[in-house]
């Protein structure tokens, strides 16, 4: 069952005291615990609840064509965004992890935090319905939606979101050439999105070249 701190945390989050505590324990439980029920099924449901809530919100804002809307949607429901919101509300200490997962830093893992955040939305949906779940999404995601998430991003992140929004596979980077002495090396990198095209750029580090290549790709094809 839930401890008092976690019960109070969930009551603040959901706006109501948890009714079916087993459901909320399931939402907080990682597979590493060996428990019969973990968050995976609720995360599957919560992902859809979040996606619909955000899609409806973006549509209501009335800006952007389908491609832009898809790009913003993908950014706003991304695991990294969910994890950032989970950190803001202090979710980490309430998650139930196995010993190894805790030792591996699971309490601050983007993957686990993001998944559990979605699982909690799934639990809220099951207990209270879509309208309260949507209201919670609108409360927690306000800064992300009204800010720059999915708009002005690092070129590599922007390209990844662009590819997802256009139903393409993840961009692939490859090192084409390295020249010059170690203290003044130059790296040439190509980035490709299957079915779209490829762009190249050169920089003083592999990371810089990848960033410039992503930027060039977006200028050319975005």
Catalytic site residue 4? Answer: no
Catalytic site residue 115? Answer: no
Selecting among 26, 43, 47, 215, the annotated active-site residue is: 47
Q: Given strand 186-193, what is the order of strands in its sheet?
A: 172-179, 186-193, 197-203
Selecting among 26, 118, 161, 215, the annotated active-site residue is: 118
Residues tagged active-site: 47, 118
């Amino acid at each position: 069952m839930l401890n008092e701190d976690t019960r109070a945390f969930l009551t603040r989050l959901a706006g109501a005291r948890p009714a079916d505590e087993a459901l909320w324990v399931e939402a907080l439980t990682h597979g590493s615990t060996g428990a019969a029920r973990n968050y995976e099924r609720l995360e599957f449901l919560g992902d859809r609840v979040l996606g619909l809530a955000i899609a409806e919100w973006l549509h209501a804002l009335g800006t952007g064509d389908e491609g832009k809307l898809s790009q913003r949607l993908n950014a706003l429901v991304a695991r990294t965004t969910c994890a950032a919101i989970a950190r803001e509300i202090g979710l980490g200490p309430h998650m139930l992890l196995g010993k190894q997962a805790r030792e591996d830093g699971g309490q601050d893992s983007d993957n686990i935090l993001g998944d559990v955040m979605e699982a909690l939305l799934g639990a809220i949906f099951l207990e209270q319905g879509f309208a309260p779940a949507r209201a919670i999404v609108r409360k927690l995601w306000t800064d992300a939606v009204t800010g720059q998430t999915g708009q002005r991003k690092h070129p590599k992140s922007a390209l990844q979101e662009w590819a997802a929004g256009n139903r393409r596979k993840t961009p692939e980077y490859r090192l084409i050439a390295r020249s010059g002495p170690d203290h003044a090396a130059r790296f040439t990198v190509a980035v490709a999105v299957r079915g779209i095209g490829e762009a190249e750029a050169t920089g003083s580090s592999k990371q810089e070249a990848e960033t410039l290549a992503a930027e060039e790709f977006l200028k050319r094809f975005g």
